[in-house]
């Protein structure tokens, strides 16, 4: 037996070499071509490495945030009465996992730019490395929810062992990969902060070129009954491909029915979102939810489907360090505080302190419990009120900026019409009138007079518009500055500016700053002349580069 081992080993090595030649694999140090994992590269992509030289592309999903316990109240769901028990409109809250000092006023999480492909799945399977060609660029399907959870775990462990620095970190703690919650998925699928409220609540994100350019759905004009490689169509406003159609996508949590405005208490199977290549276009809506059983009916196996795939998110633990815990504790203690006028805050804090002391010294346990419950209820009500107040403040400042911009534009149009009348139309009329003896000129004079009349009507209309814009702007400055303190207003500015930037509304940012400075001026000097506010916005006449700063 010992004499035959070299021969057997040699034959085994030859067989392995022949097998490798017949099925070439990508070595760990031989990176995939970019089109294998990111066929449509774009600014802002976050690319994480994988085994076998592979990689996976992600996109940031930013959310407004002014503090560690801040979150965003969002309306999710779909307005389809016949399916309301599945996906009726409801409000929920969502927050980002990571902060970025370079982008104040926001936190973010990462979500897969594409659905996970067969090649990416195989790269973590433990078998031979895959050939990442076009056939392996289709979404990985025919896998169970449990398989996907295991895949995310393997990928997280591989990154922590081999590319820890590539992961975003929160307070020094690196992130990890998992399936998205359905609120994370729906917020990203709708376009997040990059779209207007109207477009966010629409059945599908904006598709200017038509649905067939964005979604693989049932029909000969689209999917034609099969999966397609990721990244061939156009993305949603956040740069996510195939978020609707192609393969439906698994969510992290279990399915719950809708109970008219909130989710029902019973948790069932897992959730699938987005529709697939066999779904009619009329049924593909961002808010639609489907329950999938964890286990196949009548079989002892986990549910798998050719239409069901997934994409991953990168998130982080909530309490990432002792320092972060201290920050959370301080934010928690401050949450019920009024934040309005200091005298109001002191009165509310004093009342709550008195209630706490009464509870601590109550001799009767029932009375003690009732006092503590009352204090907790009051604090919860204050938190709800403050959340609503903060949303209102951001909306009012946004409205103030829009009004300031409108006032400047209306004023510029008025000046342009006045210049056209006095500098062009009337001098031309006087020249014509000097030649009124010429019969051919009389009609031109009549036409010129009629045209001047039209221009004067336009001027009068613009004067009324400017007057209304001025009054509305000054009223908004006065009411907002009197209703809210500078402290709570200033706290909302980073989040509002981040939202405007995400929507491509940077042109409004100077008007935000001017509106806030005008509120401070009116608050600090209630006798300040409102005309000075108007002068700030209209100074410079027809300037084309935005408003001047307040004097």
pLDDT tens across 205-253, in order?
999 999 999 999 998 889 999 999 999 999 999 999 999 999 999 999 9
DSSP string, 119-131: HHHHHTSSSSPP-
pLDDT in tens, 93-142: 999 999 998 888 899 999 999 999 999 999 998 878 999 999 999 999 99
Phi-psi region of 276 (alpha: psi -120 to 50; beta: other; left: phi over 0): beta
First to last CA, the chain: 98
What residues does 308 pair with on adjacent strands?
A: 248
User: b or e along 397-426 (b: 16 or more beta carbons within 10 Å of the residue's beta carbon)?
Assistant: bbebbbbbbbbbebbbbbeebeeebeeebe
pLDDT top residue among 316 and 73: 316
**Residue of 403, 447, 406 lying closest to 429 (CA atoms):** 447
What is the rounded CA–CA span in Å between residue 46 and residue 40?
A: 13
Judged by average pLDDT, the poorest of 2-16, 38-52, 76-90 is 2-16
What is the rounded CA–CA span in Å between residue 94 and residue 71?
A: 6
pLDDT at 528: 59
Contact of 425 with 451, CB cutoff 8 Å: yes
| Average pLDDT score over residue span 61-79 | 87
Q: Which of 33-42, 93-102, 121-130, 522-531 has the highest mean pLDDT?
A: 33-42
Structure tokens at 187: 């917020």
pLDDT in tens, 295-329: 998 888 999 999 999 999 999 999 988 888 998 88
CA pseudo-torsion sign 333, 338, 343, 347:
negative
SS3 27: coil
Contact of 256 with 265, CB cutoff 8 Å: yes
In this model, does residue 20 exceed pLDDT 70? no
pLDDT in tens, 321-370: 888 899 888 888 876 665 555 555 666 667 667 777 878 878 788 887 88
> Which single residue is written with the structure tokens 């769901």?
77
What is the rounded CA–CA span in Å between residue 382 and residue 405?
A: 34
pLDDT top residue among 433 and 243: 243
Is residue 373 classed exposed, middle or buried when 0-12, 13-18 and 19+ CB atoms within 10 A define those classes?
Answer: exposed
In this model, does residue 375 exceed pLDDT 90? no
Contact of 37 with 132, CB cutoff 8 Å: yes
Q: Which of 89-98, 168-177, 318-327, 502-511 has the highest mean pLDDT?
A: 168-177
Backbone angles phi, psi at 307, to 5 degrees: -95, 0
Cα Rg of the chain, angstroms: 31
Structure tokens at 215: 């979604």
Q: Length of the chain, please?
A: 551
pLDDT at 170: 93
**Residue of 242, 394, 369 lying closest to 309 (CA atoms):** 242
In this model, does residue 27 exceed pLDDT 70? no
Backbone angles phi, psi at 360, to 5 degrees: -65, -30
H-run or E-run covering 377: helix 365-419
CA atoms within 13 A on the CB side of 367: 9
What is the rounded CA–CA span in Å between residue 122 and residue 136?
A: 9
> Which single residue is written with the structure tokens 């001017």?
514
| Average pLDDT score over residue span 391-410 | 88
């Amino acid at each position: 037996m010992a004499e035959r081992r070299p021969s057997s080993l040699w034959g085994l090595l030859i067989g392995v070499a022949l097998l490798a030649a017949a099925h070439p694999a990508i070595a760990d140090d031989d990176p995939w071509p970019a089109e294998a994992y990111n066929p449509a590269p774009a600014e802002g992509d976050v690319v994480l490495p994988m085994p076998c030289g592979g990689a996976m592309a992600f996109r940031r999903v930013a959310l407004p945030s002014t503090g560690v316990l801040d979150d965003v109240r969002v309306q999710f769901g779909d307005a389809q009465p016949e399916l309301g028990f599945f996906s009726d409109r409801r409000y929920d809250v969502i927050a980002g996992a990571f902060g970025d000092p370079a982008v104040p006023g926001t936190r973010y999480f990462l979500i897969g730019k594409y659905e996970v492909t067969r090649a990416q799945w195989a790269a973590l399977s433990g078998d031979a490395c895959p050939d990442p060609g076009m056939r392996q660029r289709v979404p990985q399907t025919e896998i169970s929810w449990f398989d996907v959870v295991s895949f995310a775990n393997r990928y997280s462990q591989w990154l922590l062992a081999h590319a820890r620095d590539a992961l975003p970190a929160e307070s020094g703690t690196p992130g990890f990969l998992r399936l998205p919650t359905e609120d994370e998925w729906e917020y990203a699928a709708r376009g997040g902060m990059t779209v207007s409220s109207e477009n966010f609540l629409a059945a599908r994100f904006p598709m200017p070129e038509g649905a067939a350019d964005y979604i693989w759905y049932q029909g000969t004009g689209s999917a034609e009954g099969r999966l397609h490689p990721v990244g061939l169509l156009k993305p949603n406003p956040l740069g996510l491909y195939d978020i609707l159609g192609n393969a439906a996508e698994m969510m992290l949590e279990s399915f719950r029915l809708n109970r008219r405005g909130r989710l029902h208490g019973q948790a069932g199977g897992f959730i699938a979102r987005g529709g697939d290549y066999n779904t009619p276009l009329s049924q593909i809506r961002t808010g639609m939810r489907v329950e999938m059983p964890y286990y196949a009916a009548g079989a002892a196996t986990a549910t798998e489907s050719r239409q069901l795939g997934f994409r991953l998110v990168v998130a982080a633990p909530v309490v990432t360090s002792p320092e972060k815990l201290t920050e959370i504790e301080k934010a928690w203690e401050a949450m019920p505080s009024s934040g309005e006028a200091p005298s109001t805050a002191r009165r509310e804090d004093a009342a709550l302190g008195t209630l706490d002391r009464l509870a601590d010294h109550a001799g009767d346990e029932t009375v003690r419990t009732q006092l503590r419950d009352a204090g907790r209820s009051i604090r919860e009500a204050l938190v709800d009120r403050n959340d609503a107040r903060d949303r209102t403040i951001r909306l009012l400042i946004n409205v103030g900026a829009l009004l300031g911009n409108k006032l400047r534009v209306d004023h510029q149009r008025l000046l342009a019409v006045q210049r056209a009348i006095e500098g062009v139309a009337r001098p031309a009329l006087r020249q014509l009138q000097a030649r009124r003896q010429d019969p051919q000129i009389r009609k031109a004079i009549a036409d010129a007079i009629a045209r001047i009349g039209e221009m004067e009507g336009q001027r009068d209309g613009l004067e009324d518009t400017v007057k209304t814009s001025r009054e509305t702007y000054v009223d908004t400055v006065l009411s907002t500055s009197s209703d809210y303190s500078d402290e709570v207003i200033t706290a909302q500015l980073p989040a509002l500016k981040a939202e405007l930037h995400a929507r491509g509304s940077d042109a409004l940012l100077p008007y935000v700053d001017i509106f806030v400075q005008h509120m401070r001026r009116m608050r600090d000097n209630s006798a300040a002349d409102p005309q000075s506010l108007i002068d700030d916005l209209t100074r410079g006449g027809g300037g084309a580069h935005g408003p001047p700063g307040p004097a």
